[in-house]
């Protein structure tokens, strides 16, 4: 066995005249979490579908768990779990029946499936709902059941295609916790997402794709460093004091400061201590401060600087804003 759970080289996929993938290279080391990040239509799902043997690539090659996706599809299927964009469970069957059905279709031992189903229901907090039809489940519960179904055969590799799209903030964080636990147990995860914070939160390595090409690759930190470090962001109380703020802070900043009304922004180096110095400098200059903070660049900034367009500009605004705000705030 190789050390890589997934290895793809030059994947190209054409649908008629449309080139959905334009030569994707991708490596997912065993035991890691790689986030495939890109806007709608960038080729994320197509990539996952090829790796999960649902689609055949027009050209290029890929190995999953050491098996060729084209020639050894059944071996690949035995090694992976796939959770797609929909909660693909039978609505009319109960949670438990769903798990047992999928266990049977993985050709697992019946007694093993029984034990494993109960174990998964317990783990995903579905024991109380186990005997209810899945259509009575909330969105978050369905996704958890869906994820449980892909774990019934204990696959070493998990493909999660936009696992939290359309979920409310609480369910979303719940699902993140579940995924984090699986990773801690040694599961390799390839995750696609259009939510930058999701990739930031879960992935060791992020592959940014756009128009069927990989346009950047690295850890979240590396990608952020590509576009520069922290920025000092201040809102002064009085617009007239903005000029004094620029003068007072000039020795601290590492580049050009900008002013937009009462909003001051400038790149800084040196992390949090700069914040204290800035407060002191403004205080002695007599500038009233309404808000002050150090802002780390987000992946959104990275995406904007890499592609010239925002990651989320064309999408339906389904994302749970409040949770995201509070989490980002926490890391400032």
Partner 1 sequence: MSAPAIQAQRPLLGWTVHDAVIIARATIAASFRVPEALFFQLIQPVIFVLLFAYVFGGAIPIPGAEPGTEADASLYRQYLMPGIFGQTVAFAAASSTVGLAEAMQRGIIDRYRALPMSQPAVLLGNTMANALRQILVLTVLSITGYIVGWRINDGIWNAILAYLLLLLFAYTVTWVGAFVGLSVPNTETANTAGLIWIFPLTFLSNAFVPLNALPGWLQWFAAFNPISSLVQATRELFGNPTGAPTDFWTLNNAALYTVISCVVVIAIFAPLAVRKYRTAASK
Using rule CB under 8 A, residue 313 touches partner 1? no
Kindly write out the interface string for residues 111-130 of this chain, putting x where it contacts partner 1 by CB under 8 A and - elsewhere.
Answer: xx---x--------------
Q: To the nearest whole angstrom, how small is the minimum distance from the Cβ of residue 154 to partner 1?
A: 5
Which residue bears the tokens 């994320």? 44
Using rule CB under 8 A, residue 8 touches partner 1? no
Neighbours of 152 (CB within 10 A): 24
- State the number of CA atoms in the 13 A half-sphere of 284 facing the CB: 8
Among 29, 61, 106, 123, binds partner 1 (CB under 8 A): 106
Measured distance CA(176)–CA(78) in Å, rounded? 24
Q: To the nearest whole angstrom, how small is the minimum distance from the Cβ of residue 228 to partner 1?
A: 41
Using rule CB under 8 A, residue 110 touches partner 1? yes
Reading the block at residue 312, the tokens are 């989320």
Considering only residues 35 to 54 of the shown chain, the ones binding partner 1 according to CB under 8 A are: 49, 52-54
Using rule CB under 8 A, residue 149 touches partner 1? yes
Using rule CB under 8 A, residue 318 touches partner 1? no
Within 8 A by CB and 6+ apart from 86, the residues are none
Among 12, 27, 101, 246, binds partner 1 (CB under 8 A): 101
CA neighbor of 299 nearest in space, from 201, 161, 160, 176? 201
Among 129, 153, 203, 232, binds partner 1 (CB under 8 A): 153
Within 8 A by CB and 6+ apart from 174, the residues are 125, 140, 144
Reading the block at residue 270, the tokens are 């040196």
The DSSP output letter for 296 is P
Measured distance CA(321)–CA(168) in Å, rounded? 9
Considering only residues 50 to 89 of the shown chain, the ones binding partner 1 according to CB under 8 A are: 52-56, 74-75, 77-78, 80, 82, 84-89
CB 102 within 8 A of CB 42: no
Judged by CB, which is closer to partner 1: 85, or 226?
85
Which residues bind to partner 1, rule: CB under 8 A? 49, 52-56, 74-75, 77-78, 80, 82, 84-93, 97, 101-102, 104-112, 116, 133, 149-150, 152-154, 156, 185-187
């Amino acid at each position: 066995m190789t050390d890589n759970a997934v290895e793809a080289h030059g994947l190209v996929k054409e649908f008629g005249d449309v080139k959905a993938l334009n030569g994707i290279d991708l490596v997912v080391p065993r035991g890691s979490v790689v986030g495939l990040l890109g806007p709608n239509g960038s080729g994320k799902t197509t990539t996952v579908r090829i790796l999960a043997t649902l689609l055949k690539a027009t050209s290029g090659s890929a190995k999953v768990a050491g098996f060729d996706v084209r020639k050894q599809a059944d071996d690949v299927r035995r090694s992976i779990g796939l959770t797609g964009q929909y909660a693909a469970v039978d609505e009319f069957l109960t949670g438990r029946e769903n798990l047992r059905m999928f266990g049977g279709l993985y050709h697992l031992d019946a007694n093993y499936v029984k034990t494993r189903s109960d174990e998964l229901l317990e783990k995903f907090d579905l024991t109380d709902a186990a005997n209810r039809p899945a259509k009575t489940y909330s969105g978050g519960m369905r996704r958890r059941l869906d994820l449980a179904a892909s774990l019934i055969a204990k696959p070493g590799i998990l493909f999660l295609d936009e696992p939290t799209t359309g979920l409310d903030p609480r369910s979303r964080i719940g699902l993140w916790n579940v995924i984090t636990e699986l990773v801690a147990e040694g599961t390799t995860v390839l995750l696609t997402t259009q939510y930058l914070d999701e990739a930031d939160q879960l992935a060791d390595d992020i592959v940014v794709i756009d128009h069927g090409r990989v346009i950047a690759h690295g850890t979240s930190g590396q990608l952020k460093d590509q576009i520069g470090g922290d920025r000092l962001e201040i809102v002064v109380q009085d617009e007239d004091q903005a000029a004094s703020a620029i003068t007072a802070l000039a020795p601290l900043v590492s580049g050009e400061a900008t002013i937009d009304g009462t909003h001051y922004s400038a790149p800084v180096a040196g992390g949090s201590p700069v914040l204290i110095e800035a407060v002191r400098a403004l205080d002695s200059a007599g500038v009233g401060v309404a808000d002050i903070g150090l802002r780390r660049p987000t992946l959104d900034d990275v995406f904007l600087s890499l592609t010239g367009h925002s990651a989320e500009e064309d999408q339906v605004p389904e994302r749970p804003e409040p949770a995201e705000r509070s989490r980002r705030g926490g890391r400032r």
